[in-house]
Structures are given as C-alpha cells and as structure tokens.
Amino acid sequence: MREVQVETITNEVARLCIEACYYLGDDVLAALKKARASEPSPVGQAVLDQILRNAEIASQGELPLCQDTGLTVVFLELGQEVHIVGGNLYDAIQEGVRKGYKEGYLRKSVVDKPFSARINTKDNTPAVIHTEIVPGDRVKITVAPKGGGSENMSYLKMFSPAAGRQGIIDWVVECVDKSGANPCPPIIVGVGIGGTIDQTTLIAKKALLRPVGQPHPDPEVAELEAEILERVNKLGIGPQGLGGRTTALAVHVETFPCHIASMPAAVNIQCHSARHKEVVI
Amino acid sequence: MGTIKITTPLTDETIEQLHAGDNVLITGTIYVGRDAAHKRMVAALDAGQELPFDPRGQIIYYMGPSPARPGRPIGAAGPTTSYRMDPYAPRLLEVGLKGMIGKGNRSMPVREAMQKYKAVYFAAIGGAAALIANSIKEAEVIAYPELGAEALRRLRVEDFPAVVVNDIYGNDAYEMGKAQYREEG
Ligand code: SF4
C-alpha cells in the first residue's frame, strides 16, 4: 500500500487555502473577460472592470480577493489503496485549515454555538469535509472556501415529479431573481436534481467545482444548463445587481437518480469570487 | 458616466445632490460595523447609553475585514450583505446617521427611514475587496475589540468607490437597473 504522511496533507491543505483566496482560476478570469466584452450596461462594464482589476491586485499576494475567505469546504477523494500514516486524516485537514488561514492572513469566519452565543472558533475550523473512497492509490484534495453572502442564497425544493423539466427551469430562475444583488453577481449557479435532500444539495455544490462554463457531458443536461442560463441573463439583474445582461457566468447542473415518488432539486449560488484549488498527492 | 466626489461628514446639501445610480468617490472618516456591532449599538441606545462615536452626519460601512498584514492599515475590505442590518438601521438613522455602505437590497422600513431622516445607501462592489482596501489609508478599532473581524472601526478613506443605491427621493438603483435590462420570456 502506498503511504501518505498526514504532515503532507496538512501542508497541502494550508497551501490550497491560501492559493484559493489569492488567485482566481483562469477559467473564472476568462469567463469574466468574455462577459465584459458582451455586457451592454455601462455600470455593468465598470463593475466587471473593477472585479478584474481586483483579481490582478489580489494575485500580487498581499490582499485576498475577498475579505470573506469563507467557511472552508474540502472535497477529499481517497484512493482505497492509500495508507494514511502519522496521525488522523481529518485532524490533519483541520490543522491545514488552521495553518493556511493564519499564515495567509485570511479571515476567520466560523462560529460555534450557531443559534446562541455564536463564538468565533478563531482559526476558521472546523472545515466541512466531504469524503469519497475511490479506486487507486492517490489522494485528491479540493479546497473550496465558500463566502456567506452567496451561501445564504441557497434553495431546496422537493418537487413532485409532474413538475418536470419546465418546473425546474422556472424555479431556478425564480431563485436567482429573488437573490438579486446579495450573492455578488455575476454568479455561477449550481443546480442539483435528483437523489435525496442530502444528495441533491451535495451535487449542487459539487457542480460549482466544474471549470466555469464547461457544459455537462450529457447533452440533455447541457441543453438544460444553456436554457436556464439564457433565462437568468434576461432577468436584468446584471453585475452587482445594478442592471445588465451578465447576471450569471454559467449554470452547472448535476443529476442523480431518485425515488419514483420524488424529484428533489437544490440551488447553490457561487459568487464571482469562485475560489477552489486542488491537488493530487 | 460622471463621478461625484464627496467628503464626510455628509451635509444635507451633499445628500440632496445624490441620485440613485450616481458613482461617488468618498473621502474622509467612515465607520465600520456589521452584525454583532449593530446589535450592541442598538442595545446601547435602548439602554439610554451613548454610542461609541457621534453618528451625526456619519457613514457606516457594513464590512468585516481580513487581518492586516504588517505594514498595511487593513486587509481585504469589501462590503457584506446589508439586509442583515435592516432591523437595526432605522434606529441609527433616527440618531443622525446619514449614510450606509453595503451590498444588496434594503427593506421597505429602511428605505422609508432613509427618506424620513434624509440619508443615503451606497453599494460598494462585493468581492472587489483588495481594490477597495487600497482606498483605505488608516484603520483603528474604536469599540468591541473582542468581536475580532466584527469590531467597530474608524477608517480614513480616500476616493472610496461606491454607487448610490437609495437616494432621499425614493429611488432605487437596483430596481432601475433591472427594469432597464430585463427582457420577458
Ligand atoms: S458573496 Fe462572494 S464576493 Fe461577495 S462578499 Fe461574499 S465571498 Fe465575497
């Protein structure tokens, strides 16, 4: 069995936390530039220019892209032939978050006692960790800090199957419409369809990890994505909600089989500060 | 698109010339507070106590910065979503606050209070936090230091970029912008 030291995991998670918060992905930058070229609203253009300029300043490594460096969501793909040595894997990930948020001057935005005292944990732990056991002898770690403003604009609905494709489209458009300027448009809309309530929200979030604007491999789903995107960009919300045609950079849909009686769906909105970085160890 | 330069504290004259959709560059002192600081300020007012600063003519920026690196006054410093401050805002407008900076829609009671007490709501660009940080020249915690990122701060800003969302005439830049670019179907 291939051995991986927990220390390596900690150091890599710390590095990914910092890199995610300072360097916007090339896919996001390309989508923003494309939007800038097609946005008709002068205010919208000015906003997109400032967002691009912000990414340039952040990439110098002194100031993070956004002050809200999020609750840290970690997606872990653990090869079944990997042996983790030297300690507890989850502890190693939390230690990496602690280290990354300290060394990267990232904001600690996590509170314990959520419905009462709301006490800041002071090191941004605990991260939310999603683990998948996969074939092979590698460990893939994706760190995706998620800001509160866009996470708060999340929706779940248990549809009757009769609602069908159109029901989903209308509902997603309505969700984006009522979110308005809150999630810092332009946004990326993650949609989960199918599964159970837990599964549908998870795939909606995972949909946000796909390179921005890359269509789903299933043409039927890709077509649905394109149709929702077109509708969303007719809402007029525009960059920062100040009016325009670029409300969303992309709509990413993921599906999962579901019960004969159900059609759960979830929307998880990602702001333009779409931060995630990954490594394969 | 013209840009209006304004300085704090805000006078009625300045406020009267601002209209929804105007780009502004703000220079002067502004205050910073978000959820927890608002809760405490309103509790102080309810208890008949003074606020940690004189709110008359001032602007509050809804923001919780990332930690400052050595040699910098502040870390990244973009706006947070304003609706969470809606339950507290009218109370502060009542005692003379003249401006608020955040992002996203305000509730009807807040908009009505803005018209009643002659105050404006500005939006800063959410997620342009590194860019905005460059317009902040000094920062100091003036109250509630135990709240960390949520402490009450005083900033000195130069040409801080914002857009007027709600003016004293009842206009809303979000509604106006959306109506202009909305297509049915
Ligand atoms: S929604 Fe995103 S860009 Fe906006 S403040 Fe939150 S983390 Fe930053």
What is the residue-averaged pLDDT of chain A?
Answer: 97
Cα A63 to middle of ligand 1, angstroms: 15
Q: Give me the residue spans of the domains in chain B.
A: 3-181
Q: Which of A130, A151, A125, A155 is nearest to A140 (CA)?
A: A130
Cα A271 to middle of ligand 1, angstroms: 6
CA–CA distance, A151 with A70 (Å, rounded to integer): 9
Find the angle CA(B31)-CA(B36)-CA(B37) to the nearest 5 degrees.
30
| Interacting residues of A43 by C-beta distance below 8 A, sequence separation 6+ | A238, A239, A242, A243, A244, B1, B21, B163, B177
If one compares B2 and A73, the residue with the highest pLDDT of the two is A73
List the residue whose alpha carbon is closest to atom 7 of ligand 1.
A147
| Mean pLDDT across A6-29 | 98
Domains of chain A: 2-20+64-146 (no CATH), 149-274 (3.30.1330)
3-state helix, strand, coil in chain A (%, to 5): 40, 25, 35
Reported as a single tens digit per residue, the pLDDT across B138-149 is 999 999 999 888
Cα B47 to middle of ligand 1, angstroms: 34
For residue B1, the model assigns a pLDDT of: 53
| Interacting residues of A178 by C-beta distance below 8 A, sequence separation 6+ | none
| Mean pLDDT across A34-44 | 96
How many residues in total does chain A contain? 281
For residue B149, the model assigns a pLDDT of: 86
On whether the CB atoms of residues A269 and A248 are closer than 8 A, the answer is no
State residue B133 phi and psi, 5-degree precision.
-55, -30
Q: CATH number for B3-181: choose from 2.60.40.1190, 3.40.50.720, 3.40.630.10, 3.20.130.10.
A: 3.20.130.10
Local confidence pLDDT in tens for the 185 residues of chain B: 579 999 999 999 999 999 999 999 999 999 999 999 999 999 999 999 999 999 999 999 999 999 999 999 999 999 999 999 999 999 999 999 999 999 999 999 999 999 999 999 999 999 999 999 999 999 999 999 998 889 999 999 999 999 999 999 999 999 999 999 999 76
> What residues of chain B, 62 to 101, have a C-beta less than 8 Å from chain A?
63-69, 72, 75-78, 80-81, 83
Q: Is A273 in the pocket of ligand 1 (CB under 6 A)?
A: yes
Of all residues in chain A, the percent with pLDDT exceeding 90 is: 98
CA–CA distance, A55 with A49 (Å, rounded to integer): 10
How far, in whole angstroms, is CA A99 from its chain's centroid? Answer: 22
Burial class (CB in 10 A: 0-12, 13-18, 19+), A167: middle
The amino acid present at A170, given as its one-letter code, is D
- What residue has token string 């990244």? B76
Q: Is B126 in the pocket of ligand 1 (CB under 6 A)?
A: yes
The amino acid present at A81, given as its one-letter code, is E
Pocket test for ligand 1, best of A73, A184, A208, A269 (most atoms within 8 A of CB): A184
Q: How far is CA B53 from CA A131, B44, B57, B91, B109, in A?
A: 48, 12, 11, 15, 24
- pTM here? 0.95
Q: B145 and chain A: CB distance < 8 Å anywhere? A: no
For residue B148, the model assigns a pLDDT of: 85
For residue B185, the model assigns a pLDDT of: 60
